[in-house]
Amino acid sequence: MAEELTLEQIQDFKGKYPKQLWYLFLVEMWERFCFYGMRGVLTIFMADKILGLSLSDKDANLKYGAIQAFVYAFTFIGGIFADKILGFKKSLLFGGLVMITGNIIIAISPQNFFYLGITLSIIGTGFFKPNISSMVGELYREDDTRRDAGFGLFYSGINIGALLGGAVCVYLGKSENFGWSYAFLAAAIVMIIGLITFVLTKKSLGPIGDSPLLHLNSTKRTTKEILVYAGALISIPLIFIMIKNTDYTDYFMYTIGPVAILYFLYEMLKEKDVKSQKKLIAAFVFILFSIIFWAFFEQSGGSLALFAQDNLHPNLLFFDIDPNIINNTSNSLFVIIFSPLLGLLWLAMAKKKIEPNTLIKFGIGFLFLAAAFYTFYYTRFFADADGKTSLNIFTLAYLIITFGELCLSPIGLSIMTKLSPKRLGGMMMGMWFLASAYGQYAAGLLGAGMSSPDGDASLLVKLQGYTDGYKQLAIYALIAGLALIIISPLIRKLMQEVK
């Protein structure tokens, strides 16, 4: 049998990307297929009056938000258990298995087992999602300038999976020949493919992602691991109840954030080295800014979807196309195309020693976000008397927002791995995604604030309501970007040698 690779051998890779990155890329691609496939059918399934759960549109939307918030919030918990007991590899395997089980359970009888299955998906994603990103970070030496480019490529994989999953599962779910069971079954099957890919390639990761408890004897370690698995399974009824009653989502969201911050402070103070403490504070600032970013960005699933449905002409350049298809797919497509290209740009700039540091990238991300929302606002000047406006300008705004995302989201994953001490890697990545949970949550509130209270309002009135809101968001995004640039000297000090 081949010798296990050492960390040095892995991190000493030649070329642009380590080969292990491609494996993790594939595994994450399949996981995101499963996740976004499930997510894509969620609201329509819940609102389906005959074969679904027959919820009102409002309830389906609320529940959708709740499930999204829970999914991302559980990454924090999954990250902590990976750091303390399981290690990333075992977390990934456990999370993947739970996700597969969840989707299979729903596939057996979507109407009967939906909530149980979705509870498992939430727990499974919590154990899976943060920890695979943390492993990408460990492929790089601390000072390796190729890391951001690596995360850029990884991010393309995320979006290939998201795009395919969304398309295939929605197609299967809505098709008369197939139906909801097939959508969830497809999600389960691709997750199986993802997990098999991981099992077959995980040896190439050498010691990366091994349990932090390897020094303990194996009985002790196994007992602790079993306790984590059992704890996760015991929490099923609790999560199940919280998902079924959306009021609990609010309580949960009010609680998990403060608890996470207290726990973060506890771990930070436990850190003996002041330098590491400072880095953790810097990471926390990035996390806070990302909440604002996602709150705006995630209008895509809410207010922008309604805007696309009501206020856009169905023509893009020379084609007729449903604006909601553009709303759902253009971002992923742009990410797939531009993420590796931007990665190559970072690499080229790093070679010339002119690569902008993370703070500047984040700042630029917010400026793109502001420009994108200004463009969404600007669609009102192309509207006709019926309140319908240009899909071309709308798509342009998506292109711009994607550049913003690429300056923030993969870079955010990367900086979490740079600023976290090894023992807290999973938790910090989990906090990064917990910020997404809050972003999603706030996005719903912002979107609701923009929509016309009068359901029968004319399209022109709706257009005005939404575009006024987008202008406000543009201004706030600009302010956030400028604030970030203004405080950047301070944060740079906290980051020390980290770029």
Q: What tokens were used for 136?
A: 């990408």
Strand (E) or helix (H) holding 270:
helix 247-270
Q: Which residue has the tokens 């200004």?
A: 374
Q: What tokens were used for 164?
A: 């395919």
Minimum distance of ligand GLN from residue 158's CB (angstroms): 5
Does residue 125 touch ligand GLN according to CB under 6 A? no
Minimum distance of ligand GLN from residue 245's CB (angstroms): 25
Which of the residues 31 through 50 are near ligand GLN (CB under 6 A)?
32
Does residue 433 touch ligand GLN according to CB under 6 A? yes
Q: Which is nearer to ligand GLN, 294 or 476 (CB)?
A: 294
Does residue 294 touch ligand GLN according to CB under 6 A? yes
Does residue 99 touch ligand GLN according to CB under 6 A? no
Minimum distance of ligand GLN from residue 131's CB (angstroms): 13
Comparing every residue's Cβ against ligand GLN, the nearest one is: 436
Minimum distance of ligand GLN from residue 362's CB (angstroms): 14
DSSP H helices, 82-206, are: 87-108, 110-138, 147-174, 180-201
Does residue 81 touch ligand GLN according to CB under 6 A? no
Does residue 406 touch ligand GLN according to CB under 6 A? no
Euclidean distance between CA atoms 456 and 256, whole angstroms: 38
258 CB neighbour count, 10 Å cutoff: 9
Minimum distance of ligand GLN from residue 408's CB (angstroms): 9
Q: Is 288 exposed, middle or buried (0-12, 13-18, 19+ CB in 10 A)?
A: exposed
Euclidean distance between CA atoms 108 and 215, whole angstroms: 42
> With contacts defined by CB under 6 A, how many residues of the chain interact with ligand GLN?
6
Q: Which is nearer to ligand GLN, 55 or 167 (CB)?
A: 167
Euclidean distance between CA atoms 421 and 22, whole angstroms: 25
Cα distances (Å, whole numbers) of residue 97 to 70, 77, 137, 156, 239:
19, 17, 23, 24, 18
Q: Is 94 exposed, middle or buried (0-12, 13-18, 19+ CB in 10 A)?
A: buried
Q: Which is nearer to ligand GLN, 88 or 433 (CB)?
A: 433
Minimum distance of ligand GLN from residue 490's CB (angstroms): 25
Cα distances (Å, whole numbers) of residue 51 to 35, 47, 55, 351, 386:
21, 9, 11, 56, 35
Does residue 376 touch ligand GLN according to CB under 6 A? no
Cα distances (Å, whole numbers) of residue 63 to 42, 98, 246, 401, 461:
9, 21, 6, 26, 28
Minimum distance of ligand GLN from residue 322's CB (angstroms): 22
Q: Which is nearer to ligand GLN, 436 or 467 (CB)?
A: 436
Q: Which is nearer to ligand GLN, 128 or 378 (CB)?
A: 128
Q: What tokens were used for 229?
A: 């698995």
Q: Which is nearer to ligand GLN, 36 or 394 (CB)?
A: 36
Does residue 436 touch ligand GLN according to CB under 6 A? yes
Q: Which residue has the tokens 């496939």?
A: 37
Q: Which is nearer to ligand GLN, 328 or 389 (CB)?
A: 328
Minimum distance of ligand GLN from residue 121's CB (angstroms): 14
Does residue 366 touch ligand GLN according to CB under 6 A? no
Q: What tokens were used for 93?
A: 């395997």
Does residue 362 touch ligand GLN according to CB under 6 A? no
Does residue 346 touch ligand GLN according to CB under 6 A? no
Does residue 443 touch ligand GLN according to CB under 6 A? no
Q: Report which residue type is found at 454.
A: D
Does residue 131 touch ligand GLN according to CB under 6 A? no
Does residue 158 touch ligand GLN according to CB under 6 A? yes
DSSP state of 312: B
Closest C-alpha to 280, from 257, 259, 292, 264: 264
Closest C-alpha to 95, from 173, 162, 27: 27
Minimum distance of ligand GLN from residue 404's CB (angstroms): 13
Q: Which of 75, 330, 358, 409 binds ligand GLN (CB under 6 A)?
A: 409
Binding footprint of ligand GLN on the chain (CB under 6 A) = 32, 158, 294, 409, 433, 436
